[in-house]
Amino acid sequence: MTVVACPTCAKPVEWKPENTFRPFCSERCKQIDLGAWAEEKYTIPGAAPDALQDNPLDEDKH
């Protein structure tokens, strides 16, 4: 059996189909993580988008 740490509270979690909250230990920890994403506490690094990439239709106006 595989055991992982809950990403929110670090409690050991059994990785099995019956655990519907995996990799979280509970619904509460799952919701805390979702809230962090919604508040933009997590980010995925990347390059800033080009101005033309934001609205390709504006290209016709140049």
Q: Is 13 annotated as a binding residue?
A: no
Q: Is 61 annotated as a binding residue?
A: no
Cα 32–chain centre separation: 11
Cβ 9 vs Cβ 29: under 8 Å:
yes
Q: Is 60 annotated as a binding residue?
A: no
What ranges in 1-62 are assigned the alpha helix state H?
27-38, 51-54
Q: Is 19 annotated as a binding residue?
A: no
Known binding-site residues for Zn(2+) equal: 6, 9, 25, 29
Known binding-site residues equal: 6, 9, 25, 29
